[in-house]
Structure 1
Amino acid sequence: MCYYDNYQFACRDWKWGNFKMHCQKEFRTGETCGMKMIYQTIPLADKCTHCERIEKKKRRREKALSDIARWEREGGKFRASIEKAWEDVRGLEAEITAMVAEKDRRYATIGNTRRAA
């Protein structure tokens, strides 16, 4: 149960930080026992990389939807562009759904290990 910093992002996600202190179980110099305990939690104003990627994909989807709406207002001369944009929107929605599901799965895994302890 060696102690590490814990960084908590604005989106409530977290990551392990730097090593801070040995526990009483480990006597070898430079070695850790393998169990991580929180020495201190450091709040961060940024969002985690998962949330940043999800937001980036959402912005791309919103841009494509606004392009589609603009092209439809201008008439039917952009039919191929509109079809391509709809394909992009469907692909982005699938990617966003998969990324959100992966993040939810990660939180569910953490919740199960905390309950078991």
Structure 2
Amino acid sequence: MCFFDQHRFVCGDWKWGHFRQHCNREYRIGETCGMKLIMTTVPVGQKCKLCEKIDTKLRRRTAEVERVNRWQREGSKFRASIDKSMDQIRALDAEIYELQCEKNRRLQGIGSGSH
């Protein structure tokens, strides 16, 4: 049970930080026993990388929806562009869903990642 810092993001996610102290179970120099305990929680003033990716894709999706709405108001002359944007929106929806599932798995402690 060696001790590490924990970095906690504003979104609630976290990752392991620097090693801080050996426990009495590990006798090899430079090695840890494999069990991690928190020495100090360090607040990080930003969101985790997954949340940043989700936010970026949500902004792109919003921009596409606004474009489609503008083109639809102008009539049917932009049908090909609207179809292309709708495909893009569906692709972004799928990517956002996968990222949110990955985030949920990580928060439940069953995913691999920076934990």
TM-score (norm 2): 0.90
RMSD: 1.1
Q: Hey, what's the Cα distance between the residues in 2 that align with 1:36 and 1:87?
A: 45
Q: Hey, what's the Cα distance between the residues in 2 that align with 1:19 and 1:106?
A: 21
CA shift at 1:5, angstroms? 0.5
Q: What is the 5 A alignment of 1:82-93?
A: 82-93=82-93
2:57 aligned partner, one-letter code: K
Structure (1 or 2) with the greater helix fraction: 1
Find the counterpart in structure 1 of residue 29 from structure 2.
Answer: 29
Find the counterpart in structure 1 of residue 15 from structure 2.
Answer: 15
CA shift at 1:27, angstroms? 1.8
What SS does the corresponding residue of 1:52 show, helix, strand or coil?
helix
Residue identity over aligned pairs, in percent, reads 51
1:61 aligned partner, one-letter code: R
Find the counterpart in structure 1 of residue 94 from structure 2.
Answer: 94
CA shift at 1:46, angstroms? 0.6
Q: Hey, what's the Cα distance between the residues in 2 that align with 1:66 and 1:47?
A: 26
2:4 pairs with 1:4: yes
Find the counterpart in structure 2 of residue 115 from structure 1.
Answer: none
1:22 aligned partner, one-letter code: H
The higher relative CO (CA closer than 8 Å, separation ≥ 6) is in 2
Find the counterpart in structure 1 of residue 41 from structure 2.
Answer: 41
Find the counterpart in structure 2 of residue 113 from structure 1.
Answer: none
TM-score (norm 1): 0.89
Find the counterpart in structure 1 of residue 113 from structure 2.
Answer: none
Per-residue CA distance 1:54-112 (angstroms, 9 max, x = gap): 111111100000000111112221110000000110111111111111211222235xx
Gaps of 5+ in 1: 111-117
